[in-house]
């Protein structure tokens, strides 16, 4: 078990602190962790562990003699690197200590001592920001040592570990996506000497598993453990010994070869990526065009028992309802099953995937012979496709094409069987929208679509992607953003607004241009003195004059796997592990306990959840994110957001949107059709916003069809606010790029951003990383533009001020601060 003193946080130079959201040094020695939160972490990590293969070797019987192989049993990867993982955890478990502590099986001491000493003598290099290790070098081991261990024990456990992280992709190399020669040699030796070999995959991302077919039944069991945070290794020990059952199901397809993924030819480009696979991401591609290329299908996972799922389907013009009775048909072990509902829509003119996930739910834990009835329903409208070309006669609309819609129910996408159907006699327009974020004509590409051969089999075809037709300038000019007349200080405080004795407009009318500008950015640096030590940044009440009017500083912190401060905080299971539970009530309970920890640590906005789509398995931050599927992504994110916000703090889902690689992420252009953008890359965000109303959201670094997300009016106003009804605060990812509005030259940088209703620039300073100084010209861009007749308008800036102030008013944890600041005129 690693104690805090065993894992010091590295000190970083000022430049490193500015360049990246790097780990913070400790100033707080409070190591207390809420026992309920720790227990939920342990439960969730076990519930997300996916059993891919098992011949009955698992769970180990009590007092089974087990030999642990690989250094990762000692140097265990608890989470990935970067802002999604660098938490000052008060403790973390490795697998060797966890199995010994559980005291259910007998771990071979001689082999364990050998690995422990070798690891002590060969401490792994944790690297620096963006240069972390993807794996740790393996201990050389002689065949005679393996043979001797086999003579003393009943089974072997081989742990394969991989790490990934921010600012860098995984690679098609040994030690990253592929096994190393030493790992191969270890597996060769162990499988040759042991009759039963269990492989545990301590990996945050999907890696190559084609080697499982080569070893065949020499490998008895395979557990994809993901990375479960500080309690993750204990959860794996629980699963291996049967204290808990493996409850996870895959949220990604695992293909036989990397080259089989449809994104493979168009991933990792420095300047841009053409999302040529279009809507055919993950299982949507494999189940439609290439089922033979799948090693483990989406939704797959085994348990320690068997289930029968009996279903009935009822349909109406508006809804589909599925009732599924899940029965544990085994005789020894408990378990829970995930009921998954898929729909195949008619090809129509748009072309559709063979199956699309429409709903899911997890049964309760069932003892042998017990059953549970799970009721699922979803609106027919949720099955609509987006017509971005007008081929159905309804351009920029969600439509349901005429034909038969077949409903499949089962426990993964491949084995789900037909359970019902319904027919639409004519096309139905579900929602008429307007063009947004379409590709530019000069960046046109061909996208994948569906055709059928003479035998009716689906085959890949290609078509030109529809390009922009509408005028952005005309839309902006037509938009009216009224201003309130500036009155000067009238003595109105934010507490007056909270009490209902003054309106927010009256408060905003008092604000000077400088105060308005201050509300549109953070306090320039990370680790602001206005917030808890080691914070990611502070915004809102960053000036004395604002605080004198009762505006509180709002503190932000990472993140998806825990609160990143100069203090100890719980290290949660990675996003991939949480999503693999398919258990949104459990995720919400965990998030609610995490929200309470935020209150204790004095932070207000958690930069979480990360919810970009797993477009490609090499993306370095897939461990933070949830799935290749937008429904899983949206509902798991909604559970995180809803849970966190129960505590009166805010969740901040990210990165909005199409941030699907780390390579050159600040400059890269995601070129994607409107249809794929809406059906795949935005839908998860839409679901999360509809289901849980996050109070904040963070834009991404990348461009979307030529426009950086933090300047993207069509993304952040037209879609996010006007279509989806988002009423919260939009913040940038940390630092952004200089640019000028192509339609309005007097609108640059911060003015360009505010026009798009990207409210807050974080951490707030236009920092020149070459000179090491702040760019004062860029810093003044908002006020400079405001002073020009053709620049940004006062109404637009006041609109942003309202968005930020409404957040401050809506956070329950800030109510006392608002009152105290208002009463003391700035001194809380």
Active site residues: 733
Cα atoms in the Cβ-side hemisphere of radius 13 Å centred on 618 = 26
Strand partners, 528: none
Which residue, 714, 727, 692, 705, is CA-closest to 658? 705
Pairing between β-strand 356-362 and β-strand 307-315 as defined by DSSP bridges: unpaired
Q: For the chain, how big is the Rg over CA atoms in Å?
A: 27
Beta-carbon count within 10 A of 434 CB: 14
Q: What angle do CA 686, 690, 692 make, to 5 degrees?
A: 115
Whether residue 617 contacts residue 666, with contact meaning beta carbons closer than 8 Å, is answered with no
C-alpha distances (whole Å) from 651 to each of 525, 556, 669 are 21, 10, 27
Chain center to CA of 585: 17
CB of 274 within 8 A of CB of 467?
no
Q: Compute CA distances 511 → 166, 288, 391, 487, whole Å.
A: 39, 57, 50, 8
Using DSSP bridges, classify how beta strands 50-54 and 221-224 pair: parallel, antiparallel or unpaired. antiparallel
Q: How far is CA 353 from CA 280, 389, 458, 553, 752, in A?
A: 7, 18, 9, 48, 38
Distance CA 460, CA 458 (A): 7
Please list, in sequence order, all residues whose beta carbon lies within 8 angstroms of the beta carbon of residue 482, skipping any fewer than 6 positions away: 795
Question: Would you list the DSSP string of 176-189?
Answer: TTB--HHHHHHHHH
Q: Is the dihedral of CA 47, 50, 54, 59 positive or negative?
A: negative
For residue 500, the SS3 value is: coil
Three-state SS at 369: coil
What residues contact 8, with CB distance under 8 A and at least 6 apart? Answer: none
Burial class (CB in 10 A: 0-12, 13-18, 19+), 821: buried
Q: Is the peptide bond before 59 cis (omega within 30 degrees of 0)?
A: yes
For residues 384 and 430, is the Cβ–Cβ distance under 8 A?
Answer: yes
Q: In degrees rounded to 5, what are phi and psi of residue 79?
A: -165, 175
Do 366 and 326 meet the contact criterion of CB atoms below 8 Å apart? Answer: yes
What is the token pair recorded at 780? 């003044």
Q: Where are the beta strands (DSSP E) in 264-381?
A: 272-274, 294-296, 307-315, 319-328, 338-344, 356-362, 371-379
Q: How many CB atoms lie under 10 A from the CB of residue 441?
A: 9
Cβ–Cβ < 8 Å for 530, 553: yes
Token pair of 322 as six digits: 């599925």
Residues 6+ apart with CB under 8 A from 380: 315, 316, 317, 318, 319, 320, 400, 405, 422
Nearest to 341 by CA among 364, 326, 323: 323
Residue closest to 104 by CA, chosen among 223, 238, 224: 238
Cβ count within 10 A of residue 490: 11
Residues across the chain: 828
Residues 394/681, Cβ–Cβ less than 8 Å: no
Q: Tell how strand 254-255 and strand 650-651 pair up.
A: unpaired
């Amino acid at each position: 078990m690693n104690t805090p003193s065993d894992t010091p946080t590295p000190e970083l130079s000022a430049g490193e602190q500015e360049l990246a959201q790097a780990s913070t040094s400790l100033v707080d020695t409070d190591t207390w962790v809420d026992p309920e939160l720790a227990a939920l972490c342990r439960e969730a990590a076990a519930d997300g562990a996916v059993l891919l293969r098992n011949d009955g070797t698992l769970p180990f019987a009590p007092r089974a003699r087990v030999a642990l192989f690989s250094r990762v049993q000692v140097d265990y990867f608890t989470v990935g690197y970067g802002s999604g993982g660098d938490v000052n955890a008060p403790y973390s478990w490795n697998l060797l200590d966890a199995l010994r502590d559980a005291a259910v099986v007998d771990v071979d001491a001689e082999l364990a001592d050998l690995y422990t000493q070798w690891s002590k003598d060969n401490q792994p290099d944790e690297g620096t920001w963006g240069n972390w290790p993807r794996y740790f070098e393996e201990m050389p081991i002689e065949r005679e040592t393996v043979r001797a261990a086999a003579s003393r024990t009943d089974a072997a456990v081989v742990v394969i570990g991989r790490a990934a992280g921010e600012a860098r992709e995984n690679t098609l190399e040994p030690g990253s996506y592929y096994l190393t020669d030493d790992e191969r040699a270890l597996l060769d030796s162990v499988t040759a000497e042991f009759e039963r070999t269990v492989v545990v995959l301590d990996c945050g991302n999907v890696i190559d598993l084609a080697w499982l077919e080569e070893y065949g039944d020499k490998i008895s069991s395979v557990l994809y453990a993901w990375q479960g945070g500080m309690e993750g290794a204990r959860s794996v020990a629980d699963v291996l010994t049967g204290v808990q059952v493996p409850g996870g199901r895959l949220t990604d397809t695992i293909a036989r070869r990397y080259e089989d993924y449809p994104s493979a030819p168009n991933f990792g480009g420095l300047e841009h990526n053409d999302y040529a696979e279009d809507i055919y991401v993950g299982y949507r591609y494999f189940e439609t065009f290439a089922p033979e290329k799948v090693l483990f299908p989406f939704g797959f996972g085994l348990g320690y028992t068997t289930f029968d799922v009996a279903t009935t389907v009822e349909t109406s013009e508006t809804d589909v309802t599925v009732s599924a009775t899940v029965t544990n048909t085994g005789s020894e072990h408990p378990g829970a099953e995930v009921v998954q509902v898929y729909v195949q829509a008619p090809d129509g003119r748009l072309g559709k995937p063979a199956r699309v996930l429409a709903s899911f739910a997890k049964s309760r834990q069932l003892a042998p012979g017990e059953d549970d009835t799970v009721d699922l329903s979803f609106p027919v409208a949720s099955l609509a496709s987006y017509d971005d070309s007008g081929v159905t006669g309804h351009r920029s609309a969600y439509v349901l094409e005429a034909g038969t819609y077949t409903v499949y129910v089962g426990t993964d996408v491949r084995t789900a069987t037909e359970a019902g159907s319904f027919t639409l006699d004519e096309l139905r327009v579900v929602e008429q929208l307007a063009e947004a974020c379409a590709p530019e004509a000069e960046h046109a590409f061909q996208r994948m679509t569906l055709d059928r051969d003479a035998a009716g089999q689906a085959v890949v075809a290609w078509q030109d992607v529809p390009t922009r037709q509408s005028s952005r300038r005309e839309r902006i000019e037509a938009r009216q953003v009224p201003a309130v007349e500036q009155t000067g200080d009238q003595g109105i405080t934010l507490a007056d607004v909270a009490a209902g004795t003054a309106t927010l407009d009256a408060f905003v009318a008092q604000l000077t241009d400088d105060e308005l500008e201050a509300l549109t950015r953070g306090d320039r640096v990370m680790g602001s003195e206005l917030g808890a030590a080691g914070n990611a940044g502070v915004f809102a009440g960053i000036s004395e004059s604002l605080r004198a009017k009762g505006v509180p500083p709002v503190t932000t912190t990472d993140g998806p796997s825990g609160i990143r401060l100069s203090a100890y905080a719980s290290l949660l299971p990675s996003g991939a592990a949480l999503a693999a539970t398919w258990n949104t009530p459990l995720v919400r309970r965990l998030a609610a306990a995490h929200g309470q920890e935020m209150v204790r640590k004095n932070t207000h906005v958690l930069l979480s959840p990360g919810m970009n789509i797993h477009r490609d398995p090499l993306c370095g931050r897939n461990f933070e994110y949830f799935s290749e599927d937008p429904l899983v992504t949206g509902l798991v994110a909604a559970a995180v957001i809803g849970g966190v916000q129960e505590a009166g703090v805010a969740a901040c889902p990210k990165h909005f949107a199409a941030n699907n690689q780390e390579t050159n992420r600040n400059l890269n252009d995601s070129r994607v059709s409107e249809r794929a953008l809406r059906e795949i890359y935005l839908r998860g965000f839409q679901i999360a916003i509809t289901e849980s109303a996050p109070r904040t959201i963070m834009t991404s670094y990348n461009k979307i069809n030529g426009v950086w997300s933090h300047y993207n009016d069509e993304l952040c106003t037209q879609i996010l606010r006007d279509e989806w009804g988002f009423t919260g605060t939009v913040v940038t990812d940390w630092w952004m790029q200089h640019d000028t509005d192509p339609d309005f030259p007097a609108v640059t940088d911060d003015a360009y951003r505010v026009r798009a209703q990207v409210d807050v620039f974080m951490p707030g300073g236009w920092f020149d990383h070459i000179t090491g100084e702040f760019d004062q010209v860029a810093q003044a861009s908002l006020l400079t533009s405001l002073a020009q007749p053709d620049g940004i308008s006062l109404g637009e800036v006041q609109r942003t001020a309202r968005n930020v102030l409404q957040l401050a008013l809506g956070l329950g944890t800030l109510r006392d601060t608002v009152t105290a600041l208002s009463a003391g005129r700035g001194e809380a």
